Every structure is written in C-alpha cells, then in structure tokens.
Structure 1
C-alpha cells in the first residue's frame, strides 16, 4: 500500500457528479483539481450499509473541506452507472456535493495497494494528498468499520499548519514550539 510521502498515482476515471443523465458523468484525473488538497476516500461497494453512512458523513462536512481548499472525492470499484443508480435512489445520497469515482478496471485501487485480497473490492481507505500530489495521511479500516470524517478534517487542519501538532490538536489551538 502507498503511504505517507509517496506520490499519489496517475489516474483517469469516470465519475458520477449528478443525477441528471445529461451531465451525470465526467472524466477526472490528476489535473482536474491541480493545486488543491485532495481528500480521497474509498469504500467497498454501492448499495451496502456502512458505506452510505460514511459518504453522508463526509457530505455533511463538505463545506468545511471546501473552506480549507480541499476537494473531496469518493470512489469504489463499481461503475459510474451503478453510482448513478445509487445516488438517484438513496435519499441520503441524492444530492452529493462531490464526485464518485468509478475504478471499474481497479487500476487506481491496485496502484494505491488498497484492493482487498479476499473481497476484490476497495478497502475502506482515506488519503489526504497535498497540492503537490504527495500523500500526507492514510487511514484504513476493516471493511466492516466506518471511519470518522471529523478526524480526517482534524488531520487536514494539522497538516495545513505545517507545524508540530500535539495529540488531539484542533484548529485554533497552540501548536508545539521547539525550545
């Protein structure tokens, strides 16, 4: 699995961005959000139980990520058409404010090293990528355990200070100073 300090891999995938079939799909690659922080979080499958709770959790914090010049991207190995059907028919996902990446060829999940060996789907993995394309944070949980968008936001805040941040540090608190 790629880790902190590694370059986020080159990718080009279809993404679902709307419920309106006329403009539901776009191609997203490394240059789409050039110069921004990326928070890319993968989940195992559409039409499941834990996954929508996480996606909604991140959606509820979307503005906080935007305020930090960070773009949220979510994705799985499902197709853009499956993403579209799920968005359209799941009331909590109906108006997602960020793209759903379709890694149907499993190229991005494989390059990241997060393709689950047993299930053959994306692991529940989150990457914070800085504007230079360097992975600065990796967070992976078991397929059955949801993650905390608040923790990802807290870490993004800490990374953006470019200072030493103690345990449980939150935005606005003092950072550590080396004496």
Structure 2
C-alpha cells in the first residue's frame, strides 16, 4: 500500500539540533510543512553530500515554512559526534533525528531489516500530518535539494489551488493545468 495521503504514524525520539539534544515527536510535524529525509548512516560517503546540500538550501525551505528532519538509525550522540568532526555536517541547522530502534524507519517503510539501516527515503508532509510525496532511492543514489525544493513548492501550490495540477518541470510562476473534460487529449 502506498504511503501517499496517509497520516504519519506516531513516534517519539531524541534529536541533535543547534548544539543540544532535544525531543522530537510526530506531533512536531503538524501545523507546518515538513520534509523527513532518511539516510543510511553517519560517517559515510553519499550521506554527507546530501545533508550538506540540504544545509546549503535550508534557508530556502525555511522561507516556505518548511522544517527539515534528517533521520538515520544512528543515535543522537553519534549525530553530535559527526557534527563536531565534519565541516560539511557542521553547517546543518535542522534537527537530526535518532532512530536506533528503527521505529521511525519502519513507520515510513524504509528499514533494511538485515542491515539495521534506512534506505534513502524522502517524505513531504503537509500541515495536517499527511504524506504528500514519497521517494525511496537505492542507497547508492544521492538526492538533490533544489529538486526537492521544487517538489515542495509544487505540493504547496496544489494544496493552495484546488482544481489545478503542476505539470512536469513546473516551477513557481509557470503555467499549471486545470484538468477537465475539454482538456482530455489536448496536451
């Protein structure tokens, strides 16, 4: 079953955020747009490139009222150690969630059971707590924060403009479509 339009399952965990350990729950995702960004593990190779890319684009997500939550099956202590030792990870200002029990990874169907690691999963969640975008990649394939930003903008546009949809490569300000009987076969 697809996770699209389902409500985020309940979770509670610790996170490393702005030099502190803080609690984060599924309730923290409600009331605003959120991106939950799973990656396999700290101190690896593709992961810091993705998290650094998100850090470099974090202000753009914030302008849209979006909070980023990165998640791996590492502990919050490991997140702090990585933050303290990596120049790339030092740039991160969004919460880094710990999922050592794998509960959150299983809730989002990204857990690799035999490895105890998460797949590269990206989830955009609306203010009501519903998953509006779900992408899961093989762990060898890195993601692009600017493309994710475009998809968040499209999700927000569609949410604010009932009856309109965003075509391929849509960007803010570009034309949208209004599906109708008269449009069938004309695209």
With the length of structure 2 as denominator, give the TM-score of the two structures.
Answer: 0.89
Does 2:13 correspond to 1:32? no
Unaligned 5+ residue runs, structure 2?
159-163, 183-187
SS at match of 1:61: helix
Supply the distance in 2 between the matched residues of 1:85 and 1:174 (Cα, whole angstroms): 46
Instruction: Tell me the equivalent position of 2:178.
Output: 177
**What secondary structure sits across from 1:92 in the alignment?**
helix
Q: Deviations over 1:100-135 (max 9, x none)?
A: 000111111112111014422011000000000000
User: What stretches of structure 1 move > 4 A for 4+ residues in a row?
Assistant: none
2:91 to 92, 95, 112: 95
Cα RMSD for the two superposed structures: 1.4
Match of 1:55 in 2: 51
Return the offset for 1:97.
1.1
**Residue matched to 2:8:** 8
8 A contact 1:38–1:128 mirrored in 2? yes
Secondary structure of the 1:54 match is helix
Q: Where does the alignment leave 5 or more consecutive residues of structure 1 unmatched?
A: none
Structure 1: how far apart are the matches of 2:72 and 2:36? 11
Q: CA deviation at 1:33?
A: 4.3
| Cα pair 1:42 1:123 within 8 Å, conserved | yes
Bigger Cα Rg: 2
1:123 lines up with 2:124 in the alignment: no
- Farther off after superposition, 7-16 or 113-122: 113-122
Distance 2:24 2:2 in 1: 20
1:17 aligns with 2:17: yes
Whole-Å separation in 1 of the counterparts to 2:16 and 2:49:
18
Alpha-carbon distance between aligned partners in 2 of 1:32 and 1:4, rounded to the nearest angstrom = 19
TM superposition score normalised by structure 1: 0.93
The aligned counterpart of 1:158 is 154
User: Secondary structure in 2 aligned to 1:101?
Assistant: strand
Tell me which protein shows more helix as a share of its residues.
Answer: 2
Q: Is the 8 A contact 1:2 1:112 kept in 2?
A: no
